[in-house]
């Protein structure tokens, strides 16, 4: 009986930029295969898909990307087995990274989406460009993050607001940066509970962002006045600033349900475990996509 072939995990992005009143998409030429492709590559050991996609765009285009919604995946047949590639939309920023390794990428070109589809070698890459066009450019992310794993309530004698992260939660908090660096966050907001504060401190420190602390994002604050919590999130939407909110499991799903509506909320079949998040991608006050981000591996 033949052994099952390996499933190779990879990730990439549709990198786009504004060009006048239209947009252009980046394609890379790989001399090893003599093909035109979207920037993508295989996951390194212990690497998340979104971190891989971000790294591959940097390495293959020399452009620093700002990520938007996840677009979907493509499955390619390679000699080793199936290659599954997850893709994101990514806007080209003005921050240069460097030049690609010419042995890996010997040309980077920018084309209109229609011209890019004709130039791409693989039909699956062409479909990913179509997915990108369905979502459209210029979305803004709002990350709703459940705090990392905390000491159990029954094991804590003090005030619940002072309950800290346990050892697993501390590791999770230290590993958040690669998951959210691609979104170019500008603000970090958190519940005043210690477990939330400890969750966001490492990422806020790394990004040099001042943490905004609010009781309106806490469990007790939500219990006192649900409307204040909703107003807080709505004001962040209206500010159009890429932001992260760290709160609690009883609070985040209820806020998202209120924002999306009961019918759309039912389509979110993932529950938020400690350090999981939903990313709400919005444009002009409308949510165009919701991504689920799994907690970093322990």
Compute and round to an integer the Cα radius of gyration of the chain.
20
Task: Name 81's bridge partners.
Answer: 6, 78
For residue 95, pLDDT beyond 60 = yes
Ranges for all domains in the chain classified under CATH 3.40.50.1240: 140-293
What is the second-level CATH architecture of the domain 6-135?
Alpha-Beta Complex (3.90)
Ranges for all domains in the chain classified under CATH 3.90.79.10: 6-135
Task: Report the distance separating Cα 151 and Cα 55, nearest Å.
Answer: 34
Which of 178, 168, 130, 128 is closest to 148 using CA atoms?
168
pTM: 0.93
Task: Report the distance separating Cα 191 and Cα 171, nearest Å.
Answer: 20
Task: Name 11's bridge partners.
Answer: 41, 86
pLDDT bucket at 4, cuts 50 / 70 / 90:
low
Rounded mean pLDDT, 177-196: 98
Task: Report the distance separating Cα 193 and Cα 29, nearest Å.
Answer: 50
- For 188, residues 6+ apart whose C-beta sits below 8 A from its C-beta are 200, 203, 204, 207, 209, 210, 211, 212, 243, 244, 246
Q: What pLDDT is recorded for position 247?
A: 97
Rounded mean pLDDT, 213-229: 93
Which tokens hold the place of 297? Answer: 């591996």
Q: In the chain, what is the greatest distance between 2 CA atoms, to the nearest angstrom?
A: 64
In this structure, whether the domain defined by 140-293 belongs to CATH 1.10.10.60 is answered with no
Cβ pair 296, 170 in contact under 8 A: no
Using CB atoms within 10 A of its CB, is residue 123 exposed (0-12), middle (13-18) or buried (19+)? Answer: exposed
Which tokens hold the place of 60? Answer: 């293959």
3-state secondary structure 25-49: EEEEEECCCCEEECCEEECCCCCCH
Rounded mean pLDDT, 267-277: 82
pLDDT in tens, 145-162: 999 999 999 999 999 999
pLDDT in tens, 34-70: 999 999 999 999 999 999 999 999 999 999 999 999 9
- For 129, residues 6+ apart whose C-beta sits below 8 A from its C-beta are 14, 25, 38, 113, 116, 117, 120
Q: What is the mean pLDDT of the chain?
A: 93
Cβ pair 145, 275 in contact under 8 A: yes
pLDDT bucket at 21, cuts 50 / 70 / 90:
confident
Using CB atoms within 10 A of its CB, is residue 228 exposed (0-12), middle (13-18) or buried (19+)? Answer: middle
């Amino acid at each position: 009986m033949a052994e099952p072939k390996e499933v190779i995990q990879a990730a990439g992005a549709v990198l786009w930029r504004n060009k006048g009143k239209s947009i252009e998409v980046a394609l890379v030429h790989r001399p090893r295969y003599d093909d035109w492709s979207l920037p993508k590559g295989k996951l390194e050991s212990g690497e998340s898909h979104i971190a891989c996609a971000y790294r591959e765009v940097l390495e293959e285009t020399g452009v620093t990307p700002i990520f938007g919604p996840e677009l979907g995946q493509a499955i390619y047949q390679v000699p080793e087995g199936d290659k599954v590639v997850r893709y994101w939309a990514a806007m080209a920023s003005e921050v240069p990274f460097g030049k690609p390794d010419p042995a890996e990428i010997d040309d980077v070109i920018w084309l209109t989406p229609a011209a890019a589809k004709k130039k791409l070698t693989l039909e699956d890459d062409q479909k990913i460009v179509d997915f990108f066009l369905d979502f459209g450019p210029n979305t803004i992310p709002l990350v709703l993050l459940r705090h990392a794993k905390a000491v159990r309530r029954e094991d804590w004698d003090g005030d619940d607001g002072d309950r800290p992260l346990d050892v697993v939660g501390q590791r999770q908090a230290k590993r958040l940066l690669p998951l959210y660096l691609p979104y170019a966050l500008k603000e970090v907001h958190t519940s005043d509970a210690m477990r939330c504060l400890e969750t966001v401190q490492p990422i806020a420190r790394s990004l040099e962002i001042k943490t905004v602390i609010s009781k309106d994002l806490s469990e007790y604050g939500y219990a006192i006045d649900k409307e204040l919590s909703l107003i807080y999130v709505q004001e962040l939407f209206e500010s159009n600033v890429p932001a992260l909110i760290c709160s609690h499991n009883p609070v985040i799903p209820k806020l998202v349900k209120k924002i999306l509506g009961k019918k759309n909320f039912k389509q979110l079949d993932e529950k938020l475990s400690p350090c999981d998040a939903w990313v709400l991608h919005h444009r002009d006050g409308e949510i165009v996509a919701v991504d689920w981000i799994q907690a970093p591996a322990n």
